[in-house]
């Protein structure tokens, strides 16, 4: 990076424009500052004083002329710690060659203790002369030199973090040196499906897997640091089984459902029957009723077996029964299905529970889906007590 300043010299004897280019520097670094001169009219000599920022020096105390002034000489006299009085002249009063380009340069050294920032180099007492010997003075000119202190190291609060899906974490970064010009960081994730990171190092776990979070210095120094993020499932906190109670006939099957909370946790459970001779269960939750009796069927979380829930299963013998009345009304009960024959097509079948609540009222001859229990069937003038 170059910092430049330009100044224009005008007068009856000569006309010159000067510009200084000074690269960005590190503390303690020495660089070459170049000064260009464009002179449409002949210029044979010039003088000026260079005033440097505190602590800066021209270590060799000299100017280096380019080929444009190959026949010229220079004198540099230090005036204190930071001022240098400079003269460029020709003993034969020869004009500077050409009309534009670099005329001279000087070595500029920054102090090792220099802080980050912009500093000013002052060119003052500017005077020039042409072949006729006339001199013209010009205003002071300032050139800027920037001290840049790069980031040297970055360390993160952790190099590996384990979190669960849906949770978050924060990485903090220590950037050195503390006086670096730009200590800001660019945060990135190499697997945003697993984890993302914001500009402050806050991490959000999005999915199961591994992601690498990297903090890179924004100053272009290329310094970076990384942390591996391992995202897993959260631990189970509770489990529920649906239904919580169940009555089956021998030989009947049904499937239980287990739900683990939180929902991000593993939903895998182990199914266990306390009495597999009464009712057995597969690892898919399929229950088969084998003999009359009762047994709990348990769902235990695989990632935490101490968390479990159960369904109480009651097994009854097959309730197939057939009832015939004197006027040829036939009622057949098989499990939870009731079939009625011998009734008039318009006769209404009403089924009530033992508390008098109407469970079903229909003209159909087949009634399905009645839960286990004791009921009263009313058909015309018949009332029949049944058990399902």
Q: How confident is the model at residue 100 (pLDDT cuts 50, 70, 90)?
A: confident
**Residue range 310-316: average pLDDT?**
93
Cα–Cα distance between 385 and 128 in angstroms, integer? 128
Pairing of strands 209-217, 245-249: unpaired
pLDDT for residue 12 is more than 50: no
**Contact yes or no for 216/201 (Cβ under 8 A):** no
Long-range CB pairs of 132-135, under 8 A, 24+ apart, other chains included? 132/13, 133/13, 133/93, 134/11, 134/12, 134/13, 134/14, 135/11, 135/13
**Residue range 312-332: average pLDDT?**
78
pLDDT for residue 303 is more than 90: no
pLDDT for residue 329 is more than 90: no
Q: Which of 67-81, 221-235, 319-333 has the lowest mean pLDDT?
A: 319-333
Both tokens of 226, joined, read 């990384």
DSSP secondary-structure letter at 68? G
pLDDT the model gives residue 326: 62
Q: What is the pLDDT of residues 160-212, one digit of tens each?
A: 999 999 899 999 999 999 999 999 999 999 999 999 999 999 999 999 999 99
Q: How confident is the model at residue 38 (pLDDT cuts 50, 70, 90)?
A: confident
pLDDT the model gives residue 296: 97
**Contact yes or no for 11/126 (Cβ under 8 A):** no
Cα–Cα distance between 368 and 388 in angstroms, integer? 11
pLDDT for residue 75 is more than 80: yes
pLDDT for residue 334 is more than 90: no
Q: What is the pLDDT of residues 203-242, one digit of tens each?
A: 999 999 999 999 999 999 999 999 999 999 888 999 999 9
The better pLDDT of the pair 357, 9 is held by 357
pLDDT for residue 1 is more than 60: no
pLDDT the model gives residue 13: 38
The better pLDDT of the pair 376, 268 is held by 268
**Residue range 333-355: average pLDDT?**
87
Q: How confident is the model at residue 129 (pLDDT cuts 50, 70, 90)?
A: confident
**Contact yes or no for 282/271 (Cβ under 8 A):** yes
The better pLDDT of the pair 16, 284 is held by 284
Q: How confident is the model at residue 352 (pLDDT cuts 50, 70, 90)?
A: very high
């Amino acid at each position: 990076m170059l910092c430049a300043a330009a100044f224009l010299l005008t007068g009856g004897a000569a006309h010159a424009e000067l510009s200084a280019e000074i690269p960005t520097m590190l503390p303690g670094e020495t660089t070459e500052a170049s000064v260009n001169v464009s002179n449409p009219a002949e210029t044979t000599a010039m003088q000026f004083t260079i005033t440097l920022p505190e602590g800066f020096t021209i270590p060799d105390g000299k100017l280096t002329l380019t080929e444009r002034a190959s026949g010229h000489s220079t004198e540099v006299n230090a005036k204190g710690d930071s001022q240098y009085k400079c003269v460029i002249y020709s003993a034969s009063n020869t004009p500077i060659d050409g009309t534009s380009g670099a005329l001279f340069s000087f070595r500029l050294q920054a102090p090792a203790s220099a802080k980050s920032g912009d500093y000013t180099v002052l060119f003052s007492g500017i005077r020039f002369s042409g072949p006729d010997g006339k001199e013209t003075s010009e205003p002071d000119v300032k050139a800027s030199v920037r001290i840049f202190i790069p980031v040297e190291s970055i360390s993160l609060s952790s190099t590996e973090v384990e979190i669960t899906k849906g949770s978050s974490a924060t990485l903090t970064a220590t950037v050195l040196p503390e006086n670096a010009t730009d200590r800001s960081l660019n945060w990135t994730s190499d697997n945003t499906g697993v984890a993302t990171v914001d500009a402050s190092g806050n991490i959000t776990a999005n999915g199961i897997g591994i992601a690498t979070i990297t903090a890179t210095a924004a100053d272009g120094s290329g310094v970076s640091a990384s942390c591996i993020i391992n995202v897993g499932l959260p631990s189970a906190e509770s489990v529920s089984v649906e239904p919580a109670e169940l009555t089956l006939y021998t030989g009947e099957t049904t499937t239980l459902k287990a739900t683990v909370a939180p929902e991000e946790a593993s939903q895998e459970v182990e199914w266990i029957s306390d009495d597999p001779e009464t009712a057995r269960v597969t690892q898919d939750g399929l229950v088969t009723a084998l003999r009359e009796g009762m047994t709990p069927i348990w769902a235990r979380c695989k990632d935490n077996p101490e968390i479990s829930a159960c369904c109480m299963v009651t097994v009854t013998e097959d309730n197939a029964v057939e009832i015939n009345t004197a006027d040829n009304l036939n009622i057949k009960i098989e499990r939870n299905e009731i079939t009625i024959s011998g009734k008039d097509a318009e006769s209404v079948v009403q089924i009530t529970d033992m508390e008098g609540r109407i469970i079903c009222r229909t003209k159909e001859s087949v009634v399905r889906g009645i839960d286990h229990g004791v009921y009263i069937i009313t058909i015309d003038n018949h009332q029949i007590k049944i058990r399902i």
